[in-house]
């Protein structure tokens, strides 16, 4: 009986040893498939200085008339489709003061890269760079800018493609713009149905020059366009009722231009909504104020970009 505690200790120790050995036994089975993580979501950052990538091509460019230039020295920046949380929305074309003397505006453009449409932000610089070969009209025919040029410290306007009928402009000239490419309303470069333009040597040089980002007035213009429900492509079907404005963010000003064939029902619904909110409607006077250019240059230029035969003045 005196050895009973020793035997119990040996039995207990053996049990612990067997348990530890059993715990170390591993059963090797077939490999288990683990799904890879999902791809990152589409980048949605609609604002100046940001790169936006989406999987859906932007709508065609709408056709609209250019409002008259409101201030001598201001330059035209064409409208385009931007991307926001609710999809594409139209940023109306507008006249804007350049940030300094001697610079020109290179419009932004959508380019198809790596299976996505990437937005390239526009900029100011001493020369016009590559903007995808997109024909925005009014002198932006896909390559360079034919709507005007700097002559010393003054900007001279080409009256054949710009509307300078309501201001006293002394620096003007008439120069016929001839497109060497077919005129389309496509709003992006590359991919299915996009333009096939590639940067020229001069455009590559312009891309390496010092640039100035969109001015505060241009940024405010973009922000207000994104907040305007009537400018959403889902609402207007690609025909915005505010296609161009005489000044940045002047969506309620006289002289706002409609896109050709804009949906009247969308405009009336927007009017009712804005009136309920106690805000003036951009559409209330747009129809009666739709500008018609007069004078020697005849019919006002529009953004289809076709030949416009003019007589030298």
pLDDT digit string, tens, across residues 262-294: 554 444 444 344 344 333 333 332 332 333 333
Q: In angstroms, how far is CA 6 from the centroid of its own chain?
A: 87
pLDDT at 63 > cutoff 90: yes
Q: Which residue has the tokens 């007035």?
A: 217
Share of the chain above pLDDT 90, in %: 61
Sort 299 into a burial class: Cβ within 10 Å, 0-12 / 13-18 / 19+.
exposed
Q: What is the CA angle 186-106-238, rounded to 5?
A: 30
CA distances from 224 to 75, 91, 171, 268 (A): 20, 9, 33, 20
Q: Specify the pLDDT at position 51.
A: 67
pLDDT at 182 > cutoff 70: no
pLDDT digit string, tens, across residues 245-258: 999 999 999 999 99
Q: Where are the alpha helices (DSSP H) in 102-232?
A: 201-207, 216-227
| Euclidean distance between CA atoms 108 and 274, whole angstroms | 30
Q: What is the CA angle 183-209-172, rounded to 5?
A: 55
Which two structure tokens, joined as six digits, stand for 187? 């709003």
Rg of the chain over Cα atoms, rounded to whole angstroms, equals 31
pLDDT at 98 > cutoff 80: yes
Q: Are strands 80-84 and 87-91 parallel, antiparallel or unpaired?
A: antiparallel
What's the mean pLDDT in 222-244?
96
Q: Are strands 93-96 and 244-245 parallel, antiparallel or unpaired?
A: parallel
Which two structure tokens, joined as six digits, stand for 248? 């940045």
| Euclidean distance between CA atoms 304 and 218, whole angstroms | 23
User: In this predicted structure, which of 4-8, 190-194, 200-204, 206-210 has the lowest mean pLDDT?
Assistant: 4-8
Report the SS3 class of residue 158.
strand
Report the SS3 class of residue 151.
strand
């Amino acid at each position: 009986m005196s050895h009973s505690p020793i035997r119990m200790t040996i039995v207990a120790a053996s049990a612990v040893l067997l348990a530890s050995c059993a715990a170390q036994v591993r059963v090797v089975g077939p490999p288990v498939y683990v799904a890879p993580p999902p791809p990152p979501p589409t980048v949605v950052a609609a604002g100046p200085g940001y790169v936006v990538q989406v999987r859906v091509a932007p709508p065609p460019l709408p056709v609209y008339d250019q409002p008259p230039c409101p201030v001598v020295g201001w330059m035209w920046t064409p409208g385009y489709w931007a991307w926001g949380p609710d999809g594409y929305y139209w940023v109306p074309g507008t006249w804007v003061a350049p940030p300094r003397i001697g610079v020109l505006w290179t419009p932004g453009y959508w380019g198809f890269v790596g299976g996505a449409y990437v937005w390239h932000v526009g900029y100011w610089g001493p020369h016009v760079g590559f903007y995808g070969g997109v024909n925005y009209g009014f002198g932006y025919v896909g390559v360079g800018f034919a709507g005007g040029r700097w002559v010393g410290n003054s900007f001279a306007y080409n009256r054949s493609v710009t509307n300078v009928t309501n201001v006293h402009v002394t620096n003007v000239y008439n120069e016929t713009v001839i497109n060497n490419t077919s005129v389309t309303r496509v709003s992006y470069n590359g991919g299915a149905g996009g333009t096939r333009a590639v940067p020229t040597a001069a455009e590559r040089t312009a891309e390496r020059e010092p640039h100035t980002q969109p001015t505060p007035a241009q940024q405010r213009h973009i922000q207000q366009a994104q907040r305007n429900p009537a400018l959403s492509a889902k609402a207007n079907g690609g025909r915005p009722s505010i296609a161009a404005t005489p000044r940045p963010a002047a969506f309620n000003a006289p002289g706002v231009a409609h896109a050709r064939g804009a949906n009247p029902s969308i405009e009336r619904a927007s009017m009712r909504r804005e009136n309920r909110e106690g805000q003036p409607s951009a559409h209330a006077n747009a129809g009666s104020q739709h500008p018609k250019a007069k004078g020697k240059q005849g019919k006002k230029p529009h953004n289809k970009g076709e030949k416009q035969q003019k007589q030298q003045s």
